[in-house]
Chain A
Amino acid sequence: MRDQFVQTKNVKRFRTAVDRIQHAKLKGVERMALVFGPPGLGKSECALQHCAHNGSVYIRMKKLMSARWFLRELIDRLGDSPKWRTEDLFNQAVELLKQKKRTLVLDEVDYFTSDSKVTETLRDLGDVSGVPMLLIGMQQADKRLMRYPHLYDRFVEVVRFQPLDREDVELMVRELSEVTFEEDAIEKMVVESEGRVRKLLALIHRAEYVARGNKMKSISARDLR
């Protein structure tokens, strides 16, 4: 399998959302966006790839995460050692974010939707420092965050990751696989992968294994049994 990051429609939607929050400070236009969708569609991979190339701060939220834990992790990611008092921690985070504006990418935001302290801290950080924030959540993340209208109103872009369609599957297969897939094989991949990146990668691996074992140059649906 080739080592490439494929630009599917979901990735393009993700990039559009990031572009929309990285504008210059305009009055009344916020810098927050939400990306959500079912598991296995490549949200986290997409976010990691973006952060690795653009120097954004990536934090994966945890179920037990408190506002204080979040601030400590944020300061660690910003390259400083966290202060002890909560008030100092918050001010330190704001100061560091103001010094060099970097987009905050928070993954698995569903975890903190039950803790209003973290949600409100995020809103405060966004208001005070003015950094762009991208929240990534699971399937029901938008509904859960709607319970906090003060936060939800600030999203300038809400992107739902969709399952891969035929066009995306074909693009991924052609860019990643080292063997040629016939049309009927691609149709079968669309059905079997259910539009999920994880499943599709496993199927491509299997197909390549079969092709290598039988010294085949192209794969048809019959070979994918």
Chain B
Amino acid sequence: MNKTRIIGNELLKRGRDFFSLNQIIKATGLDRTVVRNTLLTLHSEGFLRRVLRTPEPYDKVKGPPMMNIRYRVITPSKLAAKIAPVQRGERNSADRMWFVIREKKVFTRRDLRVLAGVSRGYVRWFTKMLHRAGIICLTDRDEWSLIKDSGSRRPYVGDMISSKK
């Protein structure tokens, strides 16, 4: 689980109550810098509201004072949606092709046409774009290999035409 999700789950447990940076550090056991940066990002994205910001008692020899910041979750449902794992909707043609590519690793264009049920032209375009992006390579005559697996979500290749120009 990534760190944003760990921190997000901890924030959701508190509902709409105020919380401080130190409380979250203690609850998650993560590094202070990581928690501080994550909270700052969530604040800048509009998920948290800063309700208090006062300097802590000054005990350092040099450097700026540490700040005691209190936050509050603005809308818990929005935060829950942000940290939730990726949910796939209905698969479209490109998703189906990416699924077949990932599972077969070595494939032909015919495999994509038959198994994913996609037209000849779209298969040609999609493989060409993936090839240009360095995700697949041609290993033999009409035999392609997956060389860079970016995970279960298909890579976005829609802007490749404009970038080529």
Contact = CB atoms under 8 A, between A and B. Distances in A.
B165 interface: no
B91 to A, nearest CB: 5
Given A53-B91, A78-B85, A100-B87, A5 B117 contact: yes
A79 B117 contact: no
Contacts of B81: none
Contacts of A1: 110
Interface stretch (B36-44, B50-58, B97-105, B138-146): B97-105
A144 interface: no
Contacts, number: 58
Contacts of B159: none
Nearest to A3: B113
Interface stretch (A26-34, A44-52, A123-131): A44-52
Interface residues of B, number: 23
B70 interface: no
A96 B152 CA distance: 14
Contacts of A58: 99, 103
A48 B103 contact: yes
Determine chain A's interface SS by DSSP, over half rule: mixed
A86 to B, nearest CB: 14
Interface in B61-105: 85-88, 90-91, 96, 99-100, 103-104
Given A79-B88, A83-B1, A52 B153 contact: no
Given A79-B85, A80-B85, A52 B152 contact: no
Contacts of A79: 85-88, 151-153
Interface of A: 1, 3-5, 45, 48-49, 51-53, 55, 58, 60, 76-81, 83, 92, 96, 99-100
Given A52-B117, A80-B85, A81-B2, 16 more contacts: A3-B113, A3-B114, A5-B114, A45-B115, A48-B115, A49-B117, A51-B103, A52-B99, A52-B115, A58-B99, A76-B151, A76-B152, A78-B152, A80-B1, A80-B86, A96-B85
